[in-house]
Amino acid sequence: MEAEPRGKGVGSEHKKADEGGAWVKLRMRINELEKDKLLLTSNHNQEVCALRAELAALRACAERLEAQRAELCYQLTVAAAEKHSLSERADKDQHALQQEVKERERVVQRLRRRLKEQQEELQENQRREREEERMRKEREERKSREEEELMKTLQSTLEAERTAHLQCQVRGRSLEAALQEAELCGQRLRSGSTEREEELRVERERRSLTEHALQRLQSQLLCCQSELSVAMETERKTTSDLTEQLEEERRRHAHTLTQLQQMIPDAAAKPHGKQSPDVLQRLRSILSSAHFRQEAAQQQILKLQQQNSEHDRQRHEAELRLKEEAAKLRQATAEKQRLEDERERESEQWASERARERAEWASERERERTEWVTKMERERAQWATERERYEKEKERERAEWASERTAMEAESQRVTEESTVHLSFLYSLYQHLLSGCVTHRHYIRRRHIDCGTRLEEAVVHEHPHCIMGNFTWEELCDVITEQVDQLTSDLSTAKEKVSRLLRVCEQRSVCVERLEHSHKCVVSQLKLSRSQCDSLTSDLSESRGEAASFLAACALLAGALRHAHRRLLRLCHMKTLLWWRLQEGVELEQEVRRLADALGGGLPEPGRAVARTRWRRSLWAVLAVTRWQLLVKNNHVVFWFDGVGGAMGVCGFRQEAEPDTGESITVR
């Protein structure tokens, strides 16, 4: 009886040591993961700082470009003022230029030829613009198709994330079922129930937080999609408006050309009259407006071409980066799935080991039960043989009561010594079982959230107005000649200004920077969504690890408490058994004293008293036998002693079983 609990205690100590080593390994793994997480957060913060510095540089560049634009506007106003002064000088020199009308007619013919060439060039440009517009539309359609495919891939990734989240919910439900089982096992322990309920509530709150974070990520993706669609619509609207303005300017230019062609032959046919300043002013305004419109149209065409080319390039780069981000997201999901598979395999191994331990414990218990049954049967057979021997040797007990008294005293002393030894051992075992400790764990959760900025710019165009008036044919001819020269000079200056503006536009590339800024905003949003997805996956892995550790701790606690409860029951039973033995020893001592007093109480009288003393002794012997039978029914005590007629013994049998565990204790 003493060896069995000692062996089980040593096994439990080895098991606790193994579990402590596993617990230390898990803590080391958790510390390594936390270090990796800190490194990732530091790298992310460094990238955010670099992006913010680039954003500040881009803003400074935009401010410099705005200052340059204001300077160009000032230069244009200065040029317009100079042009106005030149027109006034031309008015003063008008009388001197009338003599050169014939030469101007030749110039007019040459200009007509140039106008025809320009018309041909304009038609060629229109044809090229139509082709470019058709190509642009095809590119836009192709880009829209590619964007739709990209959106489909993103939606598929989101569906995969949703399925993973549903799997997490299913596993969470399984964890909740396991927790309910742990709670059923821990109903006997009232003190630890409140802590387990608090941890379960924290786990549910974390699950709700992960669900909210996933919903927020989906809403951000939808917002990005809507913003991209709105930007595409605004770009299409601006291009359509600009094309309409260009067509209107072309119609106006053609109308002015037709008016000039109609006016020139009429002026040549009719005589010269008085020139009116209203007509001259009108012609100047018409020509200047046509000139400015033509310049604005050319600039807008160039800007649109540059914007389209840069937009195509930037969109292609954005698509490539989006594909890279999608590939990285797929790799992250694959890594997460691999980790989940490893965790499932570990949980299955742990469950199989636990089942194997339970099977071994059941087999050991069955073996102990069979051994106990065989032992009881053997003891019953021995008791039967001893009882037969007791019936045979019952007649020899009368002559050996004196020697039996000394044997009883020695046996009572031995029983008391054994009881004291057992009591001291049980007290030390009880003190050893009371020395235990429970450790708790605390969990730390950290999150990081970032945000981005956006910039918007607008351009306002103003159109000049025209003035109507009446004039004569002579004045018309003079004005035409003057305006033709001015038109040629203006065309040359316009070409120079256009070339200079083209060089300036090539150097600045404002549209490129704007598109780069929008692309950086999109990349920052993608990085933010990626960081949120990584935080969600890390939170899920942490919650799963915490749930697994919580289940393992509950199982260990339940096993330790069950073992302690079983030991406590055994101690209580052994205590009652010792108390019964003490009571039996006291009762036995009293009975022995009574028998000794009854058997040796009086001396034999001579003569007539001899028969009476014999009768009394026989009566006392019968009474002693009946009392021994009564004692045998409740006690199991064996006394051996040597007498005159040989060896003699008294035996009894008693069996008691535990109602809870089904185990039994035998006293021999």
Give per-residue pLDDT as tens, 215-244. Answer: 665 566 566 556 666 766 776 676 677 677
φ/ψ of residue 302, rounded to 5: -65, -45
Q: Measured between alpha carbons, how far is 381 from 383 in angstroms, rounded to an integer?
A: 5
- The b-or-e profile of 599-617 (16+ CB within 10 A means b, else e) is beeeeeeeeeeeeeeeebb
Q: Tell me whether strands 655-657 and 647-650 are parallel, antiparallel or unpaired.
A: unpaired
Using one digit for the tens of pLDDT, what is the confidence trace for 445-455? 333 334 333 33
pLDDT the model gives residue 5: 47
Residues comprising the chain, all counted: 668
Q: Measured between alpha carbons, how far is 352 from 346 in angstroms, rounded to an integer?
A: 10
- pLDDT exceeds 50 at position 609: yes
Residue 660 CA to chain centroid, in angstroms?
A: 47
Look at 87 and 36; give whichever has higher pLDDT: 36
- pLDDT exceeds 80 at position 42: yes
- The b-or-e profile of 212-243 (16+ CB within 10 A means b, else e) is ebbeebeeebeebeeeeeeeeeeeeeebeebe
Report whether 508 contacts 65 (CB < 8 A): yes
Contacts 24+ apart (CB under 8 A), 128-135: 129/301, 132/305, 133/243
- pLDDT exceeds 80 at position 36: yes
pLDDT average, residue stretch 595-620: 61
pLDDT the model gives residue 228: 61
pLDDT the model gives residue 586: 81
- pLDDT exceeds 50 at position 179: yes
Question: Hey, what are 377's tokens?
Answer: 């049967």
Q: Measured between alpha carbons, how far is 526 from 182 in angstroms, rounded to an integer?
A: 42
Candidate from 135-139, 168-172, 352-356, 656-660 with smallest mean pLDDT:
656-660
pLDDT the model gives residue 154: 64
Q: Measured between alpha carbons, how far is 52 from 451 in angstroms, rounded to an integer?
A: 11
pLDDT the model gives residue 22: 78
Task: Give the range with max mean pLDDT: 34-43, 406-415, 451-460, 620-629.
Answer: 34-43
Q: Which residues pair with residue 656 across a beta bridge?
A: 665
Task: Provide the CB-side half-sphere exposure for 388 (13 A, CA).
Answer: 5
Using one digit for the tens of pLDDT, what is the confidence trace for 366-405? 777 667 666 666 766 666 666 666 566 666 666 665 565 5
Using one digit for the tens of pLDDT, what is the confidence trace for 113-125? 777 787 787 788 7
Other C-beta atoms lying within 10 Å of the C-beta of residue 407: 18
Mention every residue, 6+ apart, whose C-beta is less than 8 A from residue 522. 224, 318
Q: Tokens 């204001």, residue?
A: 70
Question: Hey, what are 117's tokens?
Answer: 């060439």
pLDDT the model gives residue 285: 73
DSSP for 230-286, please give it.
HHHHHHHHHHHHHHHHHHHHHHHHHHHHHHHHHHHHHHHHSPP-PPPHHHHHHHHHH
pLDDT the model gives residue 598: 55
Q: Measured between alpha carbons, how far is 18 from 350 in angstroms, rounded to an integer?
A: 14
| pLDDT above 70 as % of the chain | 40
pLDDT the model gives residue 542: 79
Cα distances (Å, whole numbers) of residue 599 to 314, 392, 395, 405? 123, 21, 15, 11
pLDDT the model gives residue 463: 37
φ/ψ of residue 665, rounded to 5: -125, 130
pLDDT average, residue stretch 102-107: 70
Look at 371 and 656; give whichever has higher pLDDT: 371
pLDDT average, residue stretch 472-495: 67
pLDDT the model gives residue 442: 37
Q: Measured between alpha carbons, how far is 161 from 157 in angstroms, rounded to an integer?
A: 6
Q: Measured between alpha carbons, how far is 479 from 98 in angstroms, rounded to an integer?
A: 10
Report whether 501 contacts 509 (CB < 8 A): no
Compute the mean pLDDT over every residue in the chain, rounded to the nearest whole number: 66
pLDDT the model gives residue 560: 79
pLDDT the model gives residue 3: 44
Q: Measured between alpha carbons, how far is 582 from 584 in angstroms, rounded to an integer?
A: 5
DSSP for 166-227, please give it.
HHHHHHHHHHHHHHHHHHHHGGG-STTHHHHHHHHHHHHHHHHHHHHHHHHHHHHHHHHHHH
pLDDT the model gives residue 357: 73
Look at 24 and 378; give whichever has higher pLDDT: 24
Using one digit for the tens of pLDDT, what is the confidence trace for 233-274? 776 676 677 677 667 766 776 776 676 666 655 544 444 444
Other C-beta atoms lying within 10 Å of the C-beta of residue 641: 19
Report whether 156 contacts 221 (CB < 8 A): no
| pLDDT above 90 as % of the chain | 0
pLDDT average, residue stretch 302-308: 69
Using one digit for the tens of pLDDT, what is the confidence trace for 523-567? 777 677 677 767 777 777 777 777 777 777 777 877 777 888 888
- pLDDT exceeds 80 at position 163: no
Using one digit for the tens of pLDDT, what is the confidence trace for 62-84? 787 777 777 877 777 787 778 77
